[in-house]
């Protein structure tokens, strides 16, 4: 039934009549033909203008904080870029241009260098600093391998003294951990600073590539990235000397909670100002940040420019926003990115909640990642994405993407600004720019191994054909959202997402039946609401100008309800396992199953299999850290997730109680390699107690979800009663 109803809508062109703005009477005029409007907008797209602006900012001295680039949270370069965006928005004719200030931790990275003892200062090695305090010191440097707790002991078992010294360590931030964790370990050991060599996972493009990623730790351990080339030279010097001193200067100005980042926004006024569509990207960057995200935000402004020059007057306002502090915005939290967007939608832009009917976000829009493309969105918007793609308004993808546009529906991640909007009730969309969904074993695209967050993210990566396609596709999508009176939210996908998460064990039959029955009722109610949405949009498309006013008012009334229910669903059913979206009960369920596997293997006396296959994966792989770092380090690291030291930002209320198994994890790590058949009764007791606690929490979460399903179902029914 749903398929037929959506298919029927596709056959009816959306012809939008002039209505009203800011409470004024409906103006007269002929309906807008969306096909003609999209064609006119496409004709006016100026790729050269967007590219030139991206080059100007990514390479301009005024828009970088140091010789390697950077415009990070609250820095001078970020502020200069915000001023540039504000000026350009006004120049192209956007209305109501503002810079919304939000509070962040300020990081001004003025430059970092290393001079090895005996070398000339003129030959200083350039470093790239992380978001930490600065330092200017002459100290001994010590190579600590990968920087785990095991690496602070020599071959004889003696602890290596690093107090007051600089440690050099190798890291793979994709396979292992963010730099913050080994940096905390170094701090615990008394080190003065950390130099990190990204040996794999990121920055694989060349040995002279730097890398920057989320620090997710405290700011009081100065840390910088050194290239593999420079690290090899440094290690050659270490090999030739019993001890080696260096002059390390990390010229960072860090200010806790007293920085200001700006979210710059302007609008194209529509016929109705009470609702809007938002199009955005972020303008802060590591290095020159051409793909991430300079060409994205200049693309956003190119969309605005083309719409204005084409004479397009949308049904609803279209708000264009360039966010700051996306890469990083606060120290000592595991949720240190997307701070600018989160603080916008919950602060100066809070009025967008309930008013914004969609947010189209751009990231890395000028790279061809694969022979296919796709869109990430909320599950409730999967059907709408497909409707647009098949409407005849979207550009043909086959010449550029021979494997086409993938339409199975793909849940948005936490890795960009759209997640902040999504969890706050704004249906969000972003170009599929990270995960290779067609790979046999799902992984990120190669670009993320080689070029992402490196000094190689320059204009040389630019692909004009991809950029043109994305501007046309997502500009058209934004117009499609703007001109669709009733927001298409399909809550049958909410039910499907929950059904896909339904546990196969632990739950009693009565609760499992209640969950299944609740989902069946939720799907039915969602279908009823979807039918109402589709019928209203069909009626609107077929109506004359007079009838459209009444139908649009009905659509707005329905939108107020469905957008509220969309946020209600997100509040209830979007949790996080570290930074991965989950249904809340999945955290406890996954922990329980994993611990049961550990117990079974320990009962059989197989400690190696228990450690290798399962024990590390408990607590969203949190126990992997307990196998590699000491207790004080892990306590600090876990605290960043649990909000003990700073805010959780977009993770607030979505992180769950850890299974208390660290003592067993450490014991098993020490006993790794024992002959099979040992006595693991003490460790098993730890897991048994944790299983009991996690089971208790699981049942509470599962029962709450049953209640929330019933409440959402009743609220959906009430919207069309």
Contact 332, 637 (CB under 8 A): no
Both tokens of residue 208?
Answer: 């002279």
Element (H, E) at 44: helix 34-44
Neighbours of 695 (CB within 10 A): 16
Nearest to 42 by CA among 479, 541, 364, 365: 479
What confidence tens digit (pLDDT) does each residue in 614-642 have?
999 999 999 999 999 999 999 999 999 99
Three-class SS of residue 682?
Answer: helix
Average pLDDT of the chain to the nearest whole number: 94
Strands (E), 29-134: 32-33, 95-116, 125-129
Whether 376 has a pLDDT exceeding 60, the answer reads: yes
Mean pLDDT over 182-204 rounds to: 98
For residue 439, the model assigns a pLDDT of 92
In degrees and rounded to multiples of 5, residue 511 shows phi and psi of: -65, -40
Contact 284, 261 (CB under 8 A): yes
For residue 170, the model assigns a pLDDT of 98
- Quote the CA–CA distance of 335 and 348 in Å, as a whole number: 20
The CA dihedral of 668, 674, 677, 679, to the nearest 10 degrees, is -40
Look-up: residue for tokens 């926003």? 321
DSSP string, 525-542: HHHHHHHHHHHHHHHHHH
Nearest to 606 by CA among 630, 300, 614: 614
For residue 16, the model assigns a pLDDT of 31
Nearest to 561 by CA among 379, 720, 706, 420: 720
Mean pLDDT over 664-686 rounds to: 96
For residue 28, the model assigns a pLDDT of 34
pLDDT band at 452 (very low <50, low <70, confident <90, very high): very high
Both tokens of residue 192?
Answer: 């003065």
3-state per-residue secondary structure call for 615-668: HHHHHHHCHHHHCCCCHHHHHHHHHHHHCCCCCCHHHCCCCCCCCCCHHHHHHH
Neighbours of 718 (CB within 10 A): 11
What confidence tens digit (pLDDT) does each residue in 595-620 have?
999 999 999 999 999 999 999 999 99
Please report, for residues 151, 180, 185, 450, 622, the alpha-carbon distance to residue 148 in angstroms, rounded to integers and kept in the order given.
5, 12, 7, 25, 15
Nearest to 445 by CA among 458, 465, 461: 461
Residue-wise over 244-273: b if at least 16 C-beta within 10 A, else e?
A: bbbbbbbbbbbeeeebbbbbbbbbbbbbbb
Please report, for residues 120, 258, 540, 659, the alpha-carbon distance to residue 110 in angstroms, rounded to integers and kept in the order given.
21, 18, 57, 42
DSSP string, 305-347: HHHHHTT---SEEEEEEEESSSS---SS-S--SSHHHHHHHTT
DSSP string, 382-444: HHHHHHHHTTT-SPP-TTT-TT-B--S-EE--SSSTHHHHHHTT--EEEE--SEETTSSS-EE
Contact 301, 53 (CB under 8 A): yes
Neighbours of 533 (CB within 10 A): 26
Mean pLDDT over 642-651 rounds to: 96
Largest Cα–Cα distance of the chain, in whole Å? 88
Contact 178, 203 (CB under 8 A): no
For residue 549, the model assigns a pLDDT of 80
Look-up: residue for tokens 């006993």? 671
What confidence tens digit (pLDDT) does each residue in 300-318 have?
999 999 999 999 999 999 9
pLDDT band at 550 (very low <50, low <70, confident <90, very high): confident
pLDDT band at 24 (very low <50, low <70, confident <90, very high): very low
Whether 22 has a pLDDT exceeding 80, the answer reads: no
Look-up: residue for tokens 């109501």? 96
Mean pLDDT over 273-301 rounds to: 98
Nearest to 364 by CA among 438, 456, 290, 450: 290
pLDDT band at 500 (very low <50, low <70, confident <90, very high): very high
For residue 13, the model assigns a pLDDT of 32
- Quote the CA–CA distance of 629 and 623 in Å, as a whole number: 10
- Quote the CA–CA distance of 235 and 207 in Å, as a whole number: 15
Q: What is the DSSP letter of 149?
A: G
Whether 558 has a pLDDT exceeding 50, the answer reads: yes
Whether 683 has a pLDDT exceeding 70, the answer reads: yes
Beta carbons within 8 Å of 571's beta carbon, 6+ residues apart: 423, 653
- Quote the CA–CA distance of 125 and 109 in Å, as a whole number: 16
Contact 144, 160 (CB under 8 A): yes
Three-class SS of residue 256?
Answer: strand
Q: What is the DSSP letter of 240?
A: T
In degrees and rounded to multiples of 5, residue 133 shows phi and psi of: -65, 160
Whether 690 has a pLDDT exceeding 80, the answer reads: yes
For residue 548, the model assigns a pLDDT of 85
What confidence tens digit (pLDDT) does each residue in 77-114 have?
999 999 999 999 999 999 999 999 999 999 999 999 99
From the number of C-beta atoms within 10 Å of its C-beta (0-12, 13-18, 19+), residue 407 rates as middle
DSSP string, 691-721: HHHHHHHHHHHHHHHHHHHHHHHHHHHHHT-
Whether 153 has a pLDDT exceeding 80, the answer reads: yes
Contact 697, 575 (CB under 8 A): no
- Domains of the chain, first to last: 2-105+257-483 (3.40.630.10), 108-255 (3.50.30.30), 580-701 (no CATH)
- Quote the CA–CA distance of 343 and 287 in Å, as a whole number: 24
Contact 81, 63 (CB under 8 A): yes
Whether 7 has a pLDDT exceeding 90, the answer reads: no
Beta carbons within 8 Å of 441's beta carbon, 6+ residues apart: none
Please report, for residues 401, 612, 694, 702, the alpha-carbon distance to residue 688 in angstroms, rounded to integers and kept in the order given.
52, 19, 10, 21
Mean pLDDT over 662-675 rounds to: 97
């Amino acid at each position: 039934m749903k398929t037929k109803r959506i298919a029927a809508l596709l056959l009816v062109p959306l012809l939008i009549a002039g209505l009203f703005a800011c409470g004024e009477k409906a103006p007269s005029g002929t309906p807008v033909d969306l096909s003609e409007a999209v064609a006119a907008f496409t004709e006016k797209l100026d790729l050269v203008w967007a590219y030139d602006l991206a080059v100007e900012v990514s390479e301009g001295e005024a828009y970088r904080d140091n010789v390697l680039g950077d415009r990070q949270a609250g820095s001078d370069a970020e502020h200069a870029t915000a001023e540039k965006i504000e000026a350009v928005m006004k120049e192209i004719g956007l209305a109501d241009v503002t810079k919304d200030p939000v509070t962040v931790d300020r990081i001004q990275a003025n430059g970092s260098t290393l001079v090895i003892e005996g070398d000339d200062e003129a030959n200083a090695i350039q470093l790239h600093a992380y978001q930490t305090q600065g330092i200017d010191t002459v100290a001994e440097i010590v190579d600590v391998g990968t920087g785990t707790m095991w690496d602070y002991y020599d071959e004889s078992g003696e602890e290596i003294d690093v107090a007051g010294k600089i440690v050099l360590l190798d890291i793979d931030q994709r396979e292992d951990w963010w730099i913050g964790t080994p940096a905390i370990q170094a701090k615990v050991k008394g080190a003065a600073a950390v130099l990190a060599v990204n040996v794999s996972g990121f920055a694989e493009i060349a040995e002279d590539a730097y890398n920057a990623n989320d620090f997710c730790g405290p700011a009081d351990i100065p840390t910088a990235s050194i290239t593999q080339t420079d690290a090899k030279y440094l290690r050659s010097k270490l090999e030739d000397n019993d001890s080696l001193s260096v002059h390390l200067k990390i010229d960072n100005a860090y200010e806790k909670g007293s920085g200001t980042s700006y979210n710059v926004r302007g609008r194209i006024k529509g016929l109705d100002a009470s609702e809007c569509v938002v199009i955005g990207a972020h303008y802060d960057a590591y290095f020159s940040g051409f793909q991430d995200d300079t060409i994205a935000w200049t693309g956003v402004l190119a969309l605005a420019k083309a719409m204005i020059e084409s004479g397009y007057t949308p049904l609803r306002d279209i708000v264009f926003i360039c966010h700051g502090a996306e890469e990083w915005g606060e120290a000592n939290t595991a949720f240190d990115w997307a701070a600018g967007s989160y603080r916008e939608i919950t602060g100066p832009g809070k009025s967008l909640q309930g008013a914004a009917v969609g947010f189209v976000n751009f990231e890395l829009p000028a790279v061809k990642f694969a022979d296919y493309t796709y869109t990430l969105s909320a599950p409730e918007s999967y059907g709408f994405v497909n409707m647009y793609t098949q409407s005849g308004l979207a550009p043909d993808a086959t010449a550029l993407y021979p494997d086409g546009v993938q339409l199975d529906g793909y849940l948005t991640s936490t890795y960009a600004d759209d997640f902040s909007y999504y969890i706050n009730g704004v249906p969000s969309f972003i170009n599929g720019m990270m995960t290779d969904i067609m790979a046999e074993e799902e992984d990120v695209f190669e670009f993320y191994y080689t070029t992402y967050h490196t000094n190689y993210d320059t204009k040389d990566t630019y692909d004009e054909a991809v950029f043109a396609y994305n501007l046309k596709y997502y500009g058209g999508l934004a117009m499609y959202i703007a001109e669709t009176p009733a927001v298409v939210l399909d809550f049958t996908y909410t039910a499907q997402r929950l059904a896909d998460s339904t546990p196969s064990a632990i739950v009693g039959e009565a609760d499992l039946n209640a969950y299944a029955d609740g989902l069946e009722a939720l799907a039915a109610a969602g279908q009823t609401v979807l039918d109402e949405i589709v019928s209203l949009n069909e009626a609107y498309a077929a109506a004359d100008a007079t009838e459209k006013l009444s139908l649009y008012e009905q659509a707005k009334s329905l939108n107020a309800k469905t957008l509220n229910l969309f946020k209600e669903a997100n509040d209830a059913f979007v949790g996080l396992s570290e930074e991965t979206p989950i249904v809340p009960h999945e955290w406890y369920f996954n922990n329980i199953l994993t611990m049961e596997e550990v117990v079974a293997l320990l009962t059989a006396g197989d400690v190696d299999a228990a450690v290798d296959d399962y024990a590390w994966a408990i607590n969203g792989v949190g126990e992997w850290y307990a196998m590699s770092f000491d207790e004080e380090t892990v306590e600090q690291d876990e605290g960043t997730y649990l909000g003990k030291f700073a805010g959780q930002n977009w993770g607030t209320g979505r992180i769950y109680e850890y299974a208390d198994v660290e003592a067993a994890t450490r014991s098993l790590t020490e006993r790794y390699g024992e002959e099979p058949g040992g006595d693991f009764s003490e460790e098993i007791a730890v897991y048994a107690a944790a299983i009991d606690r996690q089971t208790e929490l699981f049942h509470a979460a599962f029962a709450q979800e049953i209640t929330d399903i019933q409440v959402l179902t009743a609220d959906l029914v009430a919207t069309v009663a």
